[in-house]
């Protein structure tokens, strides 16, 4: 059983920064990529960012490009999300997710195999 544990969420004013971390533990399967998703109240879960371990290429939602940065250490089974210039619309529960094998896309939640429990990010204006 794989556990993904997020940390680093909290409350911040608009324009501020937060850094989220996600650590995988337990029985570790192969890991092809890791991603971050978020879900605001009353909305569907949406893609935020992903990193492919094979070439360390990164992928971002248009809404966070230039403000968020995903990075990680595959050997440590850890991924980070640096969030700068936060906006109130970034308020959501942020989830870490893992693809064990390439599933054709990084952008869809259904292509990820393992999920964390989520961490709350609240941005006030």
pLDDT (tens digit per residue) in 112-124: 999 999 999 999 9
DSSP state of 116: B
Per-residue pLDDT tens over the stretch 27-85: 666 788 999 999 999 999 999 999 999 888 999 999 999 999 999 988 888 999 999 99
- Burial (CB count within 10 angstroms: exposed 0-12, middle 13-18, buried 19+), residue 18: buried
Model pLDDT, residue 27: 66
Separation CA 9–CA 20 (nearest Å): 6
């Amino acid at each position: 059983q794989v556990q993904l544990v997020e940390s680093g969420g909290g409350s911040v004013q608009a324009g501020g920064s937060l850094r989220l971390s996600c650590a995988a533990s337990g029985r570790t399967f192969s890991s092809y990529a890791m991603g971050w998703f978020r879900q605001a109240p009353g909305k569907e879960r949406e893609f935020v960012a992903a990193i492919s371990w094979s070439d360390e290429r990164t992928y971002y939602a248009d809404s966070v490009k230039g403000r968020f940065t995903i990075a990680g250490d595959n050997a440590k089974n850890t991924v980070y999300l640096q969030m700068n210039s936060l906006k109130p619309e970034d308020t959501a529960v942020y989830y870490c997710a893992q693809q064990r094998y390439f599933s054709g896309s990084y952008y869809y939640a259904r292509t990820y195999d393992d999920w964390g429990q989520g961490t709350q990010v609240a941005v006030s204006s």
